[in-house]
Amino acid sequence: MSVTHSERVEHADEFRHEALFYAGEDEFVSAIAAFARGGARAGEPTLVVVSERRVDLLREALGADADDVHFADMANVGANPARIIPAWRDFVGKHGGPDVRLRGVGEPIFPERSPDELIESQRHESLLNFAFADAGSFWLVCPYDTDALETAVIEEAWRSHPFLAYGDHHLESSEYRGLEAATAPFAEPLSAPPQEAAELHIDERLEAVRRFVADHAVRAGLSRERIVDLVLALNEIATNTVRHGGGHGVLRIWNEDRRLVCEVRDGGSLDNPLADRELAPLEEPGGRGLWIANQLCDLVQIRCLPSGMIVRLHMAFG
């Protein structure tokens, strides 16, 4: 990795997406408290989205300055990583404006993430560069624990963040892939569905799709509320298949690690890399299916391949 060193960072009038590397909780609290305190004392609206435990530690470290910092629990905001960009957009929309400088801290990647969640969180980190390219003066710091995360995860952070920080050293990384890579079709391989997965052909008969999903959700033991949510989400995805995916597709359902997984494969494509993270304007007749699925499901995986699209919905039992 080739970098340029700088001991002091000016808060430029542009989006600055920075990975902060720390070792252990004490270093985390020291670095993030200093960053948040700087925003509070400069009158810069600051939002910190980390675990509930770390919110408590930061409030204690900040003392009276904590009253001027906004906090949120990542477990609520970003259990599904696709919901994080909308939360940041809400923050920028409410507090940003001409001559207003914003600060943020978001830790979407932590050891407790499942392998699937980790990949989607890494995709989120890359998409942030595109989502806020025109956000103005917004400095967003993403902490990474070098004691707890694998080397490959740290290396990926070098590639998804234009700026890096190690203690007081702020660096520009030549490993950063750029916006073109962030917006490219996402084709990270998915595990193959198990041979015992139930299968249904999707066509315009969406009532059969809804009944198929509901029956399997009941047998899996999902709660009534979760069944309703999953059926609604899958109906949206199947509708996209009929309207935009060539008119037909294949639905597969299986149980995996106390989750029900529903996968739809069709001949569609995805032109907007933020389609699942943006709510289409009310005046537009469609374009909300992927958004709705992300609001209802624990995890949504989208892959764009030369042969078409794959959408997987994950819903935990209960």
- Domain architecture of the chain: domains with CATH: 3-182 (3.40.50.300), 198-316 (3.30.565.10)
Q: What is the mean pLDDT of each run of 10 residues along the chain (318 residues)?
A: 46 90 98 98 98 98 98 97 98 95 98 97 98 96 98 98 95 94 94 97 96 97 97 97 95 96 96 91 76 97 96 93
| Own/partner pairs, 90-96, CB within 8 angstroms, 24+ separation | 91/45, 91/47, 92/132, 92/135, 92/138, 95/45, 96/45, 96/135, 96/136, 96/138
Q: Where are the alpha helices (DSSP H) in the chain?
A: 25-41, 52-62, 74-77, 84-95, 115-131, 151-160, 179-182, 206-220, 224-244, 289-296
pLDDT of residue 3: 38
Output the pLDDT for position 19. 98
> 59: buried, middle or exposed (CB in 10 Å: 19+, 13-18, 0-12)?
middle
* Beta-strand relationship, 249-255 and 198-202: antiparallel
Separation of alpha carbons 312 and 210, rounded Å:
16
pTM, to two decimals = 0.94
Between helices 84-95 and 115-131, what is the axis angle to 10°?
A: 30
